[in-house]
Amino acid sequence: MIKKWISSAVVAATSILGTTFAQAEKEGGTLVMIVQPEPPSLASFVSTSGPIGLMAPKIYEGLLDYDKDLKAVPALAKSWDVSEDGKTVTFNLNKGVKWHDGEPFTSADVQFSIMNVLSKVHPRGPNSFKEVTSIDTPDDHTAVFNLANPAPYMMRALSAYESPMVPKHLLEGQDIKSSDIANKPVGTGPFKFVEWKKGQYIRLDKNEDYWKEGLPYLDRIVGRFIPDASTRTAAMENGEVHYGAYGAIPNVDVVRLRELDSIGVTTDGYAMINPVSLIEFNTTVEPFNNPAIRKAISLTLDRQFLIDNIWFGYGKPATSALSSSYSATGLYAEGMPNYPGRPNVEAANKLLDEAGFKPDADGVRAKATLDLIPYGEDWRRTGEYMKQALGDVGIELDLRYEDVPSWLKRVYADYDFGMNVNYFYQLPDPVLGVHRHYSSDQIRQGTHFVNSSRYKNPKLDGLMADASKEPDAKKRSAAYKEIQEILADDMPVVNLHEMKFLTVFNSKLKGHELSGLGAYGSFERTWFDE
């Protein structure tokens, strides 16, 4: 009897040990990931373009990183402290960190990165660091941020992707936007830049002197450019590439690939980005200067139909101006009007009748042109659905699908549009991702992805300004509830759905999902189980 116990204990022990061994990370291997399209440069401190975000955070590091629950975890800063009044933030930096060229990383680099680079030339940096008045460097391993007002959102914008720390000794005195390291980056991260073969690949090799002991596991990361979506799918199926994120493999193919044992699919890793599809209205022209028609459109559209039929079930209907993923920080408010669970054509017709949009002999109440973001077939199909659905309530649409530069110029420089389907990253805080859409100081002609609706509401402006400085979580939630109520009632922008991007990966690849940034993470703990 006892013998039996012992043997079963041994069996249990071996199986436990066995699993731990099976889970032990193995070193070596080359990860080939899809990077599409080919990035314009690798200067993540100047551009937040998606393909740059895939490669640069493996090379550069941020002060902080974020885990899967978006909780801040140490990166270049090993600890940090926010003062009582929220106006002083002290970062204690790790010691022994070196740039890839061998120079030591110090607090002077932090000061330079934030004050001279990110808050000057980064597209979102001036907003993220707008309250930072100065940075003190009492010693090489301490950086003290002095703020004019509390900036709770700033603490969510310190990742390698959003705010990379760059080498002062290579950038100082240079024109930052055209410096040599734009194409040949030098960072502190787990991988070093080796080679960029235009039209083919970018190669990064393991940083043998990485300051985190024993990391990274991979020998090499290669980012490959494959223009054709079907070929990308075939290369993934064939095992030639191991990782593709941000829709590199189209949803229509994922539905087939996810059945294979050799391939895994996840929607994790996009919470920091928080993408939401939406319609921007030009609130200065007929008929969209009337909120009734904007609300009627929101009431008519069947968001679940869009998700099921165009996005293959990946997504969630939008229910407010803020994405429901803000519920983790308590900023999302439930039960907003004009965001129905099911389409309500009756209510839409009633609204239009009351607002004086009378149907003519053909049942047409209003005519407009719908512009579509030229990022692929899915958007074109979204437009086709909307044309049909809105036709049912007498809004006749013409669809317009141009190339990217023409479309950007039309919507953000010429304001020559009526309604425009688009998607925005809401980012981990509304101050970073949502305010730019509605605030009247974000009516910036010629600047992309800001308030193209030209919506002006002084009350909303005030609420948003207060909310961005509010350190108290409860008061901040209350402020955002009011903001969402105003926006649900006025609807300068109608949100369509919370997008779920897909990451497709080879099942042998492990540990790529550990960061809250997903594909924009460092991949230092990524490894091959083979």
Partner 1 sequence: MSHASKRLRYVLKRLLQAFPIVLAIVVVNFFLLHMAEGDAVDVLAGEAGSATPEYMAELRKKFGLDQPLPVQLLVYLKNVFTFDLGYSFRHEMPVLDLVLDRFIPTLLLMISTIILAVGVGIVLGLLAASGLNTWRDTMISVFALVTYATPLFWVGLMFIVIFSLNLGWFPTSGMKNVAAFNDPWSWANIKDVAHHLVLPTITLSLFYLALYTRLMRASMLEQAGMDYVTTARAKGLTERRIMFVHVLRNALLPVVTMAGVQVGALIGGSVIVESVFAWPGLGMLAFEALFARDLNLLLGIFLLSALLVVAVNLIVDIIYSSLDPRIEVG
Interface with partner 1 (CB under 8 A), residue from 35, 89, 226, 431: 226
Residues 185, 42 contacting (CB under 8 angstroms):
yes
Region binding partner 1 by CB under 8 A among candidate stretches 48-56, 147-155, 389-397, 484-492: 48-56
In the stretch 105-124, what mask flags binding to partner 1 with x, by CB under 8 A? ----------------x-xx
Residue 202 C-beta: closest distance to partner 1, Å: 10
130 binds partner 1 (CB under 8 A): no
Give 80 or 270: the residue with its C-beta nearer to partner 1: 270
Give 162 or 470: the residue with its C-beta nearer to partner 1: 162
476 binds partner 1 (CB under 8 A): no
Interface with partner 1 (CB under 8 A), residue from 45, 129, 191, 225: 225
214 binds partner 1 (CB under 8 A): no
Nearest-angstrom CA–CA distance, 330 and 474: 8
In the stretch 239-278, what mask flags binding to partner 1 with x, by CB under 8 A? -x--------------------------------------
Query: What does residue 506 show for φ and ψ, rounded to 5 degrees?
Result: -70, 135
Cis peptide before 216 (omega within 30 of 0): yes
Residue 416 C-beta: closest distance to partner 1, Å: 10
* Residues near partner 1 (CB under 8 A), total: 58
What does the H/E/C string look like for 222-238? Answer: EEECCCCHHHHHHHHHH
Residue 494 C-beta: closest distance to partner 1, Å: 21
Please name which of 78, 114, 80 lies closest in space to residue 97, comparing C-alpha atoms: 78
Give 26 or 197: the residue with its C-beta nearer to partner 1: 197
Residues 229, 250 contacting (CB under 8 angstroms):
yes
The number of residues in the chain equals 530
Interface with partner 1 (CB under 8 A), residue from 18, 356, 446, 462: 446
181 binds partner 1 (CB under 8 A): no
Nearest-angstrom CA–CA distance, 301 and 310: 14
376 binds partner 1 (CB under 8 A): no
CA separation, residue 349 to residues 296, 298, 340, 369, 390 (Å): 7, 12, 15, 20, 11
38 binds partner 1 (CB under 8 A): yes
Interface with partner 1 (CB under 8 A), residue from 56, 63, 204, 222: 222
Region binding partner 1 by CB under 8 A among candidate stretches 130-138, 237-245, 353-361, 452-460: 237-245
Interface with partner 1 (CB under 8 A), residue from 131, 162, 237, 371: 237
197 binds partner 1 (CB under 8 A): yes
Give 306 or 519: the residue with its C-beta nearer to partner 1: 519
In the stretch 388-427, what mask flags binding to partner 1 with x, by CB under 8 A? --------------xxxxx-xxx-xx-----------x--
Residues 506, 239 contacting (CB under 8 angstroms):
yes
Give 201 or 415: the residue with its C-beta nearer to partner 1: 201
443 binds partner 1 (CB under 8 A): no
Region binding partner 1 by CB under 8 A among candidate stretches 149-157, 234-242, 492-500, 502-510: 234-242
Nearest-angstrom CA–CA distance, 366 and 376: 28
Interface with partner 1 (CB under 8 A), residue from 7, 15, 83, 231: 231
CA separation, residue 125 to residues 140, 188, 208 (Å): 24, 20, 31
Nearest-angstrom CA–CA distance, 191 and 125: 24
* Residues 6 or more apart in contact with residue 177 via CB below 8 angstroms: 43, 46, 121
Residue 208 C-beta: closest distance to partner 1, Å: 17
DSSP 497-523: EEE---EEEETTEESSS-STTGGGS--
Give 79 or 178: the residue with its C-beta nearer to partner 1: 178
**Alpha carbons within 13 A on the beta-carbon side of 164:** 33
Please name which of 347, 345, 368 lies closest in space to residue 288, comparing C-alpha atoms: 368
Residue 347 C-beta: closest distance to partner 1, Å: 35
227 binds partner 1 (CB under 8 A): yes
The Cβ of residue 180 has, within 10 Å, a number of other Cβ atoms equal to 11
**Alpha carbons within 13 A on the beta-carbon side of 467:** 25
Token pair in block for residue 433: 């991702």
Place of tokens 């609807």: 491
Interface with partner 1 (CB under 8 A), residue from 220, 380, 400, 469: 220
Token pair in block for residue 370: 């719908």
Residue 78 C-beta: closest distance to partner 1, Å: 30
Give 202 or 348: the residue with its C-beta nearer to partner 1: 202
DSSP 267-296: --S-TTT-EEEEEEE-TTSTTTTSHHHHHH
Contact set with partner 1 (CB under 8 A):
30, 32, 37-38, 40-41, 46-50, 121, 123-124, 126, 177-178, 182-183, 197-201, 203, 220, 222, 224-228, 230-231, 234-235, 237-238, 240, 402-406, 408-410, 412-413, 425, 436, 444-450
